[in-house]
Structure 1
């Protein structure tokens, strides 16, 4: 049992097999919007989960980590987490756009038409957050973590910039999630 659960790829694969079994059982195989919504939610959980990990765990804990242990985080944990963070952000945006297109409300959401204002706000907030991930947080984290060469003062400034934009994304994630959840519960404005 421990051998199976020690293999993350196997665990994830069996999880997806379970999802497929549910699709067969409910006769939902041809439900493309449903599939896309599922992929959207899974990638969104990964993205926002890592955002919250960085902001609630890693950033506040790093000052207390002894200097000799910090490379364990900065050279191994953070780069791997940032890999999943940025690709989950992209997957969330792409699958979210596909859901909006497949369900026929993309135009209405992006133009804040009545009945689609909440989801539109959520979509715009998510786009801003994804832009922050790819064009501000990730380039600055590469400098701060020493993944690319940078002078010490540049690394320090990059770390602050990455933290500030990560906190901006944390702030934006709350109304974004509120808008998306409320819209999906029928609370359209």
Structure 2
């Protein structure tokens, strides 16, 4: 069973629709107690880091997610802002604290020295690492992005990058924790395969 966390900021319908298409049993949860029996967790998000961090605290999902992931070892996939919330700190909407599962900082792309138009919107190639979550996906594949902020890593973990005037973190993995800046649910066959791999192989 895959559990989709609804913080009220995610494209929940799109994720659920794709999982139904893949024949994956899943449920959408709005309360932290529902994570107690989760076997796989997806944390989607659109909008701002600060709003996501606020919702984590207001809903009680912050403590529940940390307990599930760190104590029970449940695989977690963060998507877009959901990936950014895995970081220690974010600066969208003011400095605030993420989940701290990845030692990283989320900053605006043009604050990192990039000079291309933001948001970064559209299809970009990503050079993929050799991991089970990317099985049956070509090593250089195209995924769909929509974002103005990105994570900068402060630790050595599995990572993959898109190039948008500069390297932009597209994927991160640390033990049972996975994050993608792109939208797999909008990335056609590569995205569908990625989601199936997360469900079946992580």
TM-score of the two chains, using structure 1 as the length reference: 0.28
Of Structure 1 and Structure 2, the greater helix share is in 1
Q: Which has the higher strand share?
A: 2
Larger radius of gyration: 1
